[in-house]
Amino acid sequence: MKEHSTIGYDVFKHSNRDLLKAAAFIAHQQHERWNGRGYPQGLKGEEIHIFGRIIAIADVFDAPGSNRIYKKAWSDEEITDRQLPSMPMTYSITLAGQSISQPACSS
């Protein structure tokens, strides 16, 4: 399971296109954690590219809010109640705070 980050990185890393270079950073670093307990490189804090930090926070809110074969989607309130306590240790607190304080986009 943890190899998918490196596989995604390998797919995009040699591209000359800025968008695909960004995809390489995102694929490789979205599972890194502010406290260094992520994978695949064990990066921490500012060592994690800003793209990886942003997507990691987005995923914390998006994944639980989506239905899966093995679970029903959580409500926004459940996501906030369950995810907020661990965010300071796990994610950039500056980015996490901004993501929570900004109103949700409506589609």
Number of domains forming the structure of the chain = 1
In a domain, 107, yes or no: no
Residue 50 gets the label, from left (phi > 0), alpha (psi -120 to 50) or beta, of alpha
**Mean pLDDT, rounded, of the chain:** 84
Name the least confident of 3-7, 28-32, 45-49, 79-83. Answer: 79-83
* pLDDT-based confidence at residue 99 (cuts at 50, 70, 90): low
Q: Could you tell me the CATH number of the domain that includes residue 93?
A: 1.10.3210.10
Domain range for 79:
4-101
- Predicted TM-score (pTM) of the model is 0.74
For every residue of 50-98, DSSP letters joined together read HHHHHHHHHHHHHTTTS-BTTBPPPPHHHHHHHHGGGHHHHS-HHHHHH
In a domain, 46, yes or no: yes
CA distances from 100 to 45, 64, 85 (A): 19, 15, 13
In a domain, 106, yes or no: no
In a domain, 21, yes or no: yes
Residue type, 58: A
* pLDDT-based confidence at residue 97 (cuts at 50, 70, 90): low
